[in-house]
Amino acid sequence: MVVGTTKRQADATPYAASLIEGMRDFGYTLETAMADVIDNSITARASRVEIIAETTTDEPWIAIADNGAGMTELELIEAMRPGSKNPLKEREGHDLGRFGLGLKSASFSQCRQLTVISRKGGVTSAATWDLDKVAETNDWRVDLEDDLSDIPALDRLPTTGTIVLWRKLDRLSTNFRHDSAKRSAEINKAIVLAESHLKLCFHRYMEGGRPALRILLNDRRLSPIDPFAIDHMATQVDPEERLPLRNGEVVTQCFTLPHHKKMSKPAWEELGGPEGHLRTQGFYIYRERRLIIAGSWLGLARQTELTKLARVRVDIPNTMDADWKIDVRKASAQMPPVVRERLRKIVERLQGTSKRTYQRRGRKLVSEDSLPLWSRIQKDGGVVYRPNVDHPSIIGFGESLPEEFRHGFRVCINLLGTGLPIAALHADMLGSAESVISDEAEFVELADAAETAIRALLATGMTGNDVARTLCSTEPFIHHRDAIRRLIEDIEQGTHL
């Protein structure tokens, strides 16, 4: 006979002050906190979201107002409860929430006073979490606001909708709490960074929908940033690939961005973002069309100049949250093994055209039909750049020198090749390769070299057209096609002495 034992129980209710302070440090930034609040607006089927920031007052504040479904007082109280939803509960397809923590944890990460005002069915309700009061009372209680006269941005509340108001912005003014001008500049700088993030994070909602989501910042409508430049005629778009799994379907699609010379400089820089194109290549993972991860190969490949135009869109449904280990901030995820293997094959296919077989013996990597001033040579698993001593300009100039100076000339040419600033070039290319440009010279500075090359090529039996095509195929003559053609005509006609 087994005698059962009685288990004793003890109260383990968490201390309100300690837990709420802990919720402030989930790793949110201003932009991820704002995005989490806007998630709630989208879930409430809002078509318009306004961000209003008052940064010049002694008590700065930020408000996020939407025209969504709104909440009754009971619904508002439930929304203010930490952990108001079970992450295992099935959600509708448009629901961007997960833990029922986002509104609270995102807001607490930026402020010590959170007020939510909501209007539904003609009734306005408001509730406030004040962390200073919680610290004093150690009590899980929100204040229900009856007097709304002192609440900022109340005039932005639509007939139906919600305002999330952040006051006591201690995390946004840590360095200049007693200097209002510098504090305002600090907050405004953070808001500028947040703007770029929101334009990217919600671009698919802003681009389409019935109607498309409008996001405004201080009455200025934000334009979406499409990281794939789908509307650009030079973007290469592959077909979608679908991977059905137990908890949903993963959809992938590969894109190759246009070369930077085919885009305007502002469009190119916006597409690359603050970190540049080298750091923003790779996977773009979306959960219900909301961007979670922007630009990473997630350990499947290295970010290189060779692949910086490659981007892969990965769409997952909210039914796969547990499989992908979506975190509270909805800013990180882990790929399930079966998805990882599929994406690995995609990466290998994208990089396939970039692979080369390296040989011990040096091998030229330039077309025999062009005359570059520099030869690019593969050697010992690396790439070496050397001045092209066979270029007609260099040969012609060397032959024009007295015999006693020719050896010194060849030494100087070789010295240029061995003295390339490789470390500096690496640093510049890593930061932003497209900013490294050639030093374009005026044709008058190149005329003598061009004439020497033209005469040498004509002497080999080449036609004037062949000389022009060959000489103008590479730097530095590629920028002076018309001047080169006129010079060839003059030399052929004997009018150029």
Reply yes or no on whether the pLDDT at 496 is more than 60.
no
**pLDDT-derived band at 349, boundaries 50, 70, 90:** confident
CA-based nearest residue to 160, from 299, 18, 38, 65: 65
Q: What pLDDT shows up at residue 295?
A: 85
Instruction: Please say if the pLDDT value at position 15 is more than 60.
Output: yes
Segment holding 482, helix H or strand E? helix 481-493
CB atoms near residue 480 (< 10 Å)? 20
Report the pLDDT value the prediction gives residue 253, as an integer from 0 to 100: 93
235: helix, strand or coil: coil
In which band, very low, low, confident or very high, does the pLDDT at 356 lie, cut at 50, 70 and 90? very low
Helix (H, G, I), strand (E, B) or coil at 184: helix
Q: Which of 220-224, 307-311, 336-340, 432-436 is predicted most confidently?
A: 220-224
DSSP run (H or E) holding 410: helix 403-418
Sign of the Cα torsion 462, 464, 469, 475 reads positive
- Point out which residues pair with 473 in neighbouring strands: none
Closest alpha carbon to 114 in 133, 95, 86: 133
* Dist CA 467 CA 260 (whole Å): 29
Highest mean pLDDT of the ranges 213-217, 270-274, 398-402 = 213-217
* Residue 437: its H or E element: none
pTM beyond cutoff 0.85: no
- pLDDT for the residue numbered 242: 92
Whether the per-residue pLDDT at 408 is higher than 80: the answer is no
Sign of CA dihedral 267, 273, 274, 280: negative
pLDDT at 342: 87
For the chain, which residues make up each domain, given as ranges?
Answer: 16-221, 236-352, 363-493
User: 369 pLDDT exceeds 60?
Assistant: no
- For tokens 């390339």, what's the residue? 420
> Do 171 and 111 meet the contact criterion of CB atoms below 8 Å apart?
yes
- Point out the least confidently predicted range of 19-33, 129-143, 305-319, 374-388: 374-388
| pLDDT tens figures, 123-171 | 999 999 999 999 999 988 899 998 898 899 999 999 999 999 999 998 8
Residue 50 phi, psi dihedral angles, 5° rounding: -110, 130
Say if strands 248-256 and 310-316 run parallel, antiparallel, or are unpaired: antiparallel
Architecture of domain 236-352: 2-Layer Sandwich (3.30)
Residues 6+ positions from 458 with CB-CB distance below 8 Å: 464, 467, 488, 491, 492
pLDDT at 359 over 70: no
Mean local confidence (pLDDT), 161-182: 83
Higher pLDDT, 369 or 443: 443
Q: What is the CATH number of domain 16-221?
A: 3.30.565.10
Q: Mean pLDDT throughout 221-232?
A: 93
pLDDT in tens, 438-453: 555 566 666 777 777 7
pLDDT value at 66 more than 50: yes
Nearest by Cα to 292 from 444, 96, 57: 96
